[in-house]
Structure 1
Amino acid sequence: MKKILLGLLICLNSFVLTAQESELTWHTNIDKAMEISKKENKPLMLFFTGSDWCGWCIRLQKEVFYKKEFVKWAKDNVVLVEVDFPRKKQLEPTLQQQNNSLQGAFQVQGYPTVWFVNADTKEGKTNFTQLGRTGYVAGGPEAWISGANQILANNKKG
């Protein structure tokens, strides 16, 4: 009985550690994400989504963003920002206004759209340098990450 209990405890502990390693931080505040981006010298990855209604967005998350390969890649390469346009839940007005502004600035007309950008603020104005964009890509995390790496490689800061 003790061996079974010990085995279960070890399995549970490793599961908790794995879950902690796979957690990503998706920022919703663009200003905070920009601060982190500047501090860590990483581009922003803006994920424009309809989180509670867009089938392709949900599919992208399940097939790519929730996979350990993407988690590791994202932690090493980008600062994640979710720009959400839900239908069933109401965003707070300032977040809704920020997301609408970003949608207009990047001329996003469909979901999911993922933009890679560098951002800086001069004289109180935010300037985004567009590195490239993508969306849903079939083939799982390897195919998606390959495309993202091409975008980032073409825009390395020199």
Structure 2
Amino acid sequence: MKKQILFLFLFIGTLGYSQNWKANFEEAKAQAISDDKNILLVFSGSDWCAPCIKLENTIWKSEEFKKEADEKWVIYKADFPKKKANLLSVELTASNKKLAEQYNKSGNFPLVLVMDKTGNVLGITGFKNLSPADYIKLLHSFEK
């Protein structure tokens, strides 16, 4: 019984951190067109890239970003984990590699692209030591 209660608390706790990251980029593009929103494409090394991990913890998990993303963007994370326990499916890995060939040829991590709904790049940034509010302002500055 204690294990079930602990599992329930852990599950509920993770719901607070959940975001509307799309499962694949084609789905993100389709939703961006239907909702008339821009796309935020993030290249991340979630288990090996220190700036990626910091960006995740300070920006992506912030309530300010979650709220703004829900209202203004369709978000997709092209993740490139290295640890065996974190590896993605073969299909998702291939899809992310294809995106990297198109949008991240230099292999920079983290790399954050603001794109219009058709996939045209409006602006590019990476990790910046900013507050969530200032990072959001930076992302919006590419849309003007």
TM-score (norm 2): 0.82
CA 41–98 in structure 1, closer or farther in 2 if over 3 Å, else same: same
Give the deviation of 1:115 after TM superposition.
0.6
Distance 1:117 1:54 in 2: 23
Give the deviation of 1:49 after TM superposition.
0.1
Distance 1:19 1:44 in 2: 24
Figure out how many residues of one structure are paired with residues of the other and give that number: 130
Alignment equivalent of 2:123, drawn from 126, 129, 132: 132
CA 141–90 in structure 1, closer or farther in 2 if over 3 Å, else same: same
Higher relative contact order (CA 8 A, sep 6+): 2
Query: Which letter does structure 1 place at the counterpart of 2:18?
Result: E
Query: After the TM superposition, which of the residue ranges 25-34 and 56-65 deviates more from structure 2?
Result: 25-34
Supply the RMSD in Å over aligned alpha carbons.
1.9
Alignment equivalent of 1:144, drawn from 123, 135, 139: 135
Unpaired runs of 5+ residues, structure 1, are 1-15, 121-127
Unpaired runs of 5+ residues, structure 2, are 1-11
Alignment equivalent of 2:96, drawn from 90, 95, 99: 99
| Superposition pairs of residues 6-155 of structure 1, within 5 angstroms | 23-88=18-83, 89-106=86-103, 107-120=105-118, 128-152=119-143, 154=144
Larger Rg: 1
- Divergent runs of 4+, >3 A: 18-23
Distance 2:17 2:92 in 1: 26
CA contact (8 A) 1:33 1:81 kept: yes
Distance 2:15 2:35 in 1: 21
CA contact (8 A) 1:137 1:143 kept: no
CA offsets per residue over residues 41-82 of structure 1, 9 Å max, x none? Answer: 111100100011111001011111111111111111100101
Q: Percent identity?
A: 27
Distance 2:127 2:22 in 1: 20
CA offsets per residue over residues 95-119 of structure 1, 9 Å max, x none? Answer: 1111111111012421110111124
TM-score (norm 1): 0.75
